Amino acid sequence: MNFRKIFTGILFASCLWMFLAVSGASAQQLVYQPKNPAFGGNPGNYSWLMNSANTQNRFDQAASAASRFQRDPLSDFQSSLQRQILSQLTRDIVNRQFGDGEVEERSFEFGEFSIDVVPGLDDVQIVIRNILTGDETSISVPSF
């Protein structure tokens, strides 16, 4: 009985080998082909790769080098101070308008801007003027 199992196994293996040989099952070898010409790829790919890299590059070397040395710390300080004052004024108006308290008539002047806060019966008018150009913006915050 043991002989019969061995014979069946050999017969099955030889049939399988014959089937694979006749059916033409074969494997192929994978070969790496680089795209970049710097690593042995086709030299015709150079312009495509360079254009693709340049369109994705968001860093402008000349502009950043120039802007790095042309920034003035005093103007940065002035603009930061202006932003903080406007932010504080906005918080103050919103807190007083929608919370407890009254909005007072006030005027501020800093840099090239003049800001007037004028409370009314139904709203608060905020008038922002550019002193240099004369431009004016008016904002109305309603009362509730």
Residue 116's CB is within 10 A of a number of other CB atoms, namely: 16
pTM beyond 0.75, yes or no: no
Q: What is the DSSP code string of 26-93?
A: ---------SSGGGT--GGGHHHHHHHHHHH----HHHHHHHHHH--HHHHHHHHHHHHHHHHHHHHH
* CA–CA gap between residue 144 and residue 127 (Å, rounded): 20
124 found inside a domain:
yes
pLDDT the model gives residue 36: 83
**Amino acid at site 78:** Q
Domain assignment of residue 137, yes or no: yes
Does 32 fall in a domain? no
Determine, yes or no, domain membership for 129: yes
Burial (CB count within 10 angstroms: exposed 0-12, middle 13-18, buried 19+), residue 41? middle
Work out how many domains the chain is built from and give that number: 1
Determine, yes or no, domain membership for 38.
no
Q: Is residue 135 part of a domain?
A: yes
Question: What is the model's pLDDT at position 85?
Answer: 81
* Residue 121 lies inside a defined structural domain of this protein: yes
Whether 4 is in a domain gets the answer no
**Distance from C-alpha of 86 to C-alpha of 119, rounded to nearest angstrom:** 17
pLDDT in tens, 107-140: 888 778 888 888 888 888 888 898 889 899 888 8
pLDDT above 70 covers what percent of the chain?
81
Domain hosting residue 111, numbered range: 104-143
What pLDDT does residue 75 have? Answer: 80
How does residue 74 score in pLDDT terms, banded at 50, 70 and 90?
Answer: confident
Q: Is residue 12 very low, low, confident or very high in pLDDT (cuts 50, 70, 90)?
A: confident
Per-residue pLDDT, averaged over 83-88, amounts to 84
Tokens 């501020």 found at: 108
